[in-house]
Amino acid sequence: MAELRYNPLLRDWTMVSADRQRRPQTKSGECPFCPGSGKVPQAYEVYAYDNDFPMLSGNPPEPDDVAFGPYSTQHAYGKCEVVLYSSDHDTSLSSLPTSRIRMLVDLWVERFRALSQDERHKYILIFENRGAEVGATISHPHGQIYAYPYIPLKLQQELHSCEQYYTVNQRCLLCDMGEEERRFGKRILVETEYFESYIPFFTDYPYGAFIASKAHRTNLLDFDEAERNDLAHMLKLVTGGMDRLFERPFPYMMVLHQAPVNGAAVDAFYHFHIEFYPPQYSKEKMKYAASSETGAWAPGNPVAVETSAPMLRTAIESLRGE
């Protein structure tokens, strides 16, 4: 059973898939993403393939006949893909050479372009869950791509906020955020030629870094060769700094925020950026979404980011000196 169930309280959709319960918890020496598993090529550098346990699919089953009154269902149409960063089970995004991360960026571009060709896809989300602390069931370095048949609520809200800001100011909100972070300085993590990373003023995670393009870009397809190289370099610096911070693999959720597809143009006001949601805020402590965050969407941050940003910046700078 797989379907979309409408939440009339939030005017959003919930993806339901009973097959997700069968996702593997890998044992030592067993990994479906390693060569020899029969699921991936015997040799590869980066690789994308269809998720074995998708929430969305190109040929979804009929929804269950259980929606009445204020409730409704839709077919769980879409696409779920796994993106493998390396055939090496024991590496990570931060450990890969920049040239390999550039190959990953190119694969993201390729899949974004291909998935956007289906007019029923409305939003393409590229993301990574790293570490058991955020629910990753397989430790092999990988991310995922979901192509939704709707724009999820959080992203709708972000788009609406950017559009409103542009209407009032005739400027891009993310461009102005970057300008203010550079002016203030204390929350900046690292700058490269084409990208900047900072922990924004408002984040609810002590190390909730953003990576944003300095030029106004809306999605991966907008980047030229030099920008793709620089994005790969920035990803290595930020994730490497996170691992260096507490001298351990740093758990995080990483999400690429891009313009929707197959809908109204948003190029004037929407700006490409990557958001990290890392639960770890000290060597021993984790920040979890508790009742206030989950029940009221009222985020709280246990650390002022003007304190945490310099620590992560120092860890990143130590990498640049190597």
Catalytic residues: 142
In single-letter form, the type of residue at position 312 comes to L
Query: For the residues of 197-229, what is the DSSP string, one character each?
Result: EE--TT-SSTT--EEEESS---SGGG--HHHHH
Quote the CA–CA distance of 252 and 47 in Å, as a whole number: 21
Q: How far is CA 40 from CA 23, 143, 146, 237, in A?
A: 17, 15, 20, 29
Secondary structure element (H or E) that encloses residue 148, with its range: strand 142-148
Q: How far is CA 108 from CA 78, 86, 104, 208, 220, in A?
A: 17, 14, 6, 22, 8
How far from the centroid of its chain's Cα atoms is residue 295's Cα? 23
**CB atoms inside a 10 Å sphere around CB 240:** 22
Quote the CA–CA distance of 197 and 288 in Å, as a whole number: 23
**CB atoms inside a 10 Å sphere around CB 289:** 14
| Nearest residue to 239 (alpha-carbon basis) of 281, 303, 190 | 190
Across-strand partners of 16?
3
Query: For the residues of 95-139, what is the DSSP string, one character each?
Result: GS-HHHHHHHHHHHHHHHHHHHTSTT--EEEEEEEESGGGT-S--
Secondary structure element (H or E) that encloses residue 293, with its range: helix 291-296
Q: Give, to the nearest 10 degrees, the angle between helix 225-245 and helix 305-320.
A: 110
